[in-house]
């Protein structure tokens, strides 16, 4: 199973960003880390081990990227406008640097990507799917934190509004090309009912998406599933098996 690490300085976010890749071929899956996690977080917390059968079989190749906004909020400045400028800059980095780099790495200028993550990573997966459905065919959002008031201090500004699917999706114009494409995508929203989970966050997202005709599904796991890595290590392989089925005969 191949493992590749790349770093480059992004003028959009004003810092060096690390991108990891595991696997050589398969459907590209981008994993967004939790909170202020880095690109290697998913390996340290054994998510790569959990996905090894799918990666080794060539069904997926997994990418992960530093959680730059979370690093700003939790380590530098969580106040508006610095915190929200970081969100806008990260979206520009993802759409104009990361996604094109993945397409180039896949040797396919039109390849569609699965976005996933847990906690704040689920927010980032949802946000890139809703803002850039031209890149993302599906989002798998696990134990998501979608209302960012608990992280950001200050009144919502335009950058915050444009980054938050809970706020901008309800107001997309009916004939908007972005909304039309979103209605051809699928959002999976999963959560447990154990410690530190907040199912209301998932249902709020599903309500917003459903009202705009965007295909989505909420999967609620039981009370033994906490807001923690063991839950996500069980969830993600299950959903990869569902959405990226094995090739017959393999």
Residues 6+ apart with CB under 8 A from 82: 72, 76
User: In this structure, what token pair is assigned to residue 3?
Assistant: 């493992």
H or E element at residue 14: none
> Residue 250 falls within a domain, yes or no?
no
> Residue 178 falls within a domain, yes or no?
yes
Calculate mean pLDDT across residues 199-228.
Answer: 98
Q: How far is CA 85 from CA 14, 46, 179, 181, 217, in A?
A: 11, 32, 24, 26, 31
Nearest to 122 by CA among 48, 180, 67: 67
> Residue 218 falls within a domain, yes or no?
yes
Q: Is residue 246 pLDDT above 90, yes or no? A: no
Give me the number of domains the chain comprises: 1
How far is 137 from 187, CA to CA, in rounded Å? 9
Q: What pLDDT is stored for residue 79 in this prediction?
A: 98
Give the chain's mean pLDDT: 96
pTM: 0.96
Virtual torsion, Cα 124, 125, 128, 129, nearest 10 deg: -150
> Residue 249 falls within a domain, yes or no?
no
> Residue 188 falls within a domain, yes or no?
yes
Q: pLDDT (tens digit, 9 = 90+) per residue, 180-189?
A: 999 999 999 9
Calculate mean pLDDT across residues 109-116.
Answer: 98
How far is 111 from 103, CA to CA, in rounded Å? 6
> Domain limits at 126?
3-243
The domain that holds 159 is classified in CATH as 3.40.50.1820
Q: Is residue 195 pLDDT above 70, yes or no? A: yes
> Residue 248 falls within a domain, yes or no?
no
Q: What pLDDT is stored for residue 249 in this prediction?
A: 46
H or E element at residue 47: helix 47-50
How far is 79 from 51, CA to CA, in rounded Å? 37
């Amino acid at each position: 199973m191949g493992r590749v690490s790349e770093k480059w300085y992004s003028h959009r976010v004003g810092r060096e960003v690390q991108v990891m890749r595991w696997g050589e071929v398969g459907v590209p899956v981008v994993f967004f880390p939790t909170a202020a996690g880095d690109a290697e977080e998913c390996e340290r917390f054994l998510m790569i081990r959990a996905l090894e059968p799918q990666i080794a079989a060539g069904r997926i190749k997994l990418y992960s990227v530093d959680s730059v906004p979370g690093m700003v909020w939790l380590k530098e400045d969580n106040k508006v406008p610095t915190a929200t400028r970081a969100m806008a800059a990260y979206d520009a980095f993802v759409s104009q640097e990361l996604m094109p780099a993945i397409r180039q790495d896949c040797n396919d200028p039109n390849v569609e990507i699965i976005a996933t993550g847990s906690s704040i990573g689920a927010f980032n997966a949802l946000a890139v799917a809703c803002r850039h459905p031209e890149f993302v065919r599906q989002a798998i959002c696990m134990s998501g934190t979608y209302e960012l008031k608990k992280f950001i201090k200050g009144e919502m500004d335009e950058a915050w509004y444009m980054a938050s699917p809970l706020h901008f999706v309800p107001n997309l114009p009916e004939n908007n090309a972005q909304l039309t494409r979103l209605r051809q995508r699928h959002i999976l929203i999963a959560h447990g009912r154990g410690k530190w989970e907040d199912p209301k966050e998932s249902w709020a997202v599903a309500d917003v998406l459903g009202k705009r005709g965007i295909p989505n599904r909420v999967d609620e796991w039981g009370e033994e599933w906490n807001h923690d890595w063991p839950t996500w290590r069980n969830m993600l392989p299950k959903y990869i098996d569902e959405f990226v089925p094995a090739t017959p005969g393999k």
